[in-house]
Amino acid sequence: MAPEIRRSLVLHSRLRRDPHALLRGMLDRVPPGTRPDAPVAELEQRIADLLGKPAALFFPSGTMAQQTALRVHADRTGRRVFAAHPHTHLAQWEEQGHQAVHHLLHRPVGDHHELITRDDLARVTEPLAALLLELPQRDIGGLLPEWDDLVAQTSWARERGAATHMDGARLWESQPYYDRPLAEIAALFDTVYVSLYKGLEGVRGAVLAGDRETIDLAALWRTRLGGALRDAWPLAVAGLIGLDEVLPRMGEFLAHARAIAAAVNADGYARTRPAVPQTSIFHVLLPVPRQVASAASLRLFRETGIELPVHARATGDPDRSALELSVGVAALEFTPEEVAALLRRLR
């Protein structure tokens, strides 16, 4: 058994994923007589309304939702190529599912360490089924394109007959930066995937939103892929709790992320990327190799019961590593100075 976690700076800590506590919270949401299909229907409607889309569909995972969205766009346009950042989740974590299952090709655009720019897009000459933009771009420190860039890039795609798809795994966390209604951000995209378990801190699951025709086709693919779960209500209930209780706190999380980053940068041992976080997710650059940072994080946990992320990333500089911090409910328990002092111990 792993040691007991006393406090945690990890968004998906076991502390926040305690099945007993979760079930207690869910019981209040499921009064006697609740039909098994009701929570999913409510969730889909709530998210369609929030995003200003005519329809929305539950999926067991974002992986399935996004591959499906791209498949539908590709079939409609008769094109097989989608453009996305080199770090897109589809290229990094899905074992080339888009290619193996759907015969789609990923055209990487932009630099590995930077956001996609309009100039990067201008170099794409082949006709695209879709442009996929991830908000925020997680692997480079949760960076967001400025609003005008977002408008320019999505317009570029639409003018060329390509669909626009948002990897909105962390759209909820991106909204405070833009300070615009979710529906206004979503309007730039034909399809939007959102996650139920990242910022919303639910159990698992995803929702894909778009126009009625696209979502009907997505439902067909969801069945073909084995994702049409009849009893997805526990995941939907957890997602509804997230919408009610966690979504309204995204501004608070961003403010705390910024306070933590300011303390870390003032302390001077580590520094953050970006210097001022744009979302509640950001990177902490440590002056030690990643193996050293990971081992120190584990040691800190064993000695104190305080959990920090253990998977430090390589940065290209062998003497430096990056830790991703994601500020949610659990991280609010730590003062910014305390976080800076804990990170100083990663050496």
Ligand X SMILES: Cc1ncc(COP(=O)(O)O)c(C=O)c1O
Candidates 18-26, 56-64, 71-79, 273-281: pick the segment binding ligand X (CB under 6 A).
56-64
**Which H or E run includes 319?**
none
Binding ligand X (rule: CB under 6 A), the pick from 13, 63, 153, 321 is 63
> Could you tell me the CA-to-CA distances from 250 to 33, 49, 200, 332 in Å, in that order?
33, 19, 9, 12
Place of tokens 């770090």: 87
Closer to ligand X by Cβ: residue 206 or 232: 206
Site string for ligand X, 264-303 (x = CB under 6 A): ----------------------------------------
User: Site residues for ligand X, window 12-31 (CB under 6 A)?
Assistant: none
Candidates 61-69, 147-155, 301-309, 333-341: pick the segment binding ligand X (CB under 6 A).
61-69
Binding ligand X (rule: CB under 6 A), the pick from 72, 73, 134, 166 is 134
Pair of tokens at residue 319: 């003497």
Closer to ligand X by Cβ: residue 66 or 297: 66
Closer to ligand X by Cβ: residue 89 or 102: 89
β-pair partners for 141: none
Does 62 bind ligand X (CB under 6 A)? Our answer is: yes
Pair of tokens at residue 32: 């006697």
Binding ligand X (rule: CB under 6 A), the pick from 8, 61, 174, 321 is 61
Candidates 59-67, 157-165, 280-288, 298-306: pick the segment binding ligand X (CB under 6 A).
59-67
Residue 120's nearest CA partner among 139, 133, 103, 129 is 133
Give the burial class of 291: count Cβ atoms within 10 A of its Cβ; 0-12 exposed, 13-18 middle, 19 or more buried: exposed
- Minimum Å gap between C-beta 62 and ligand X is 3
- Minimum Å gap between C-beta 342 and ligand X is 24
User: Site residues for ligand X, window 193-222 (CB under 6 A)?
Assistant: 195, 206
Q: Peptide bond preceding 274: is omega within 30 degrees of 0, i.e. cis?
A: yes
Q: How many CA atoms lie within 13 A of 287 on its CB side?
A: 8
- Minimum Å gap between C-beta 244 and ligand X is 21
Binding ligand X (rule: CB under 6 A), the pick from 80, 89, 222, 320 is 89
- Minimum Å gap between C-beta 276 and ligand X is 21
Binding ligand X (rule: CB under 6 A), the pick from 11, 56, 169, 284 is 169
Pair of tokens at residue 47: 């998210």
Distance CA 49, CA 56 (A): 9
How far is C-alpha 241 from the chain's CA centre?
18
Distance CA 285, CA 17 (A): 28
- Minimum Å gap between C-beta 167 and ligand X is 5
How far is C-alpha 56 from the chain's CA centre?
18
Closer to ligand X by Cβ: residue 197 or 334: 197
Distance CA 220, CA 223 (A): 5
Binding ligand X (rule: CB under 6 A), the pick from 73, 154, 164, 167 is 167
Closer to ligand X by Cβ: residue 121 or 132: 132
Q: What residues have CB less than 8 Å from 58, skipping those under 6 apart? A: 40, 43, 44, 205, 206, 207, 232, 235, 236
Distance CA 238, CA 243 (A): 9
Closer to ligand X by Cβ: residue 195 or 294: 195
Residue with nearest beta carbon to ligand X = 62
Chain contacts with ligand X (rule: CB under 6 A): 61-63, 89, 134, 138, 167, 169, 195, 206
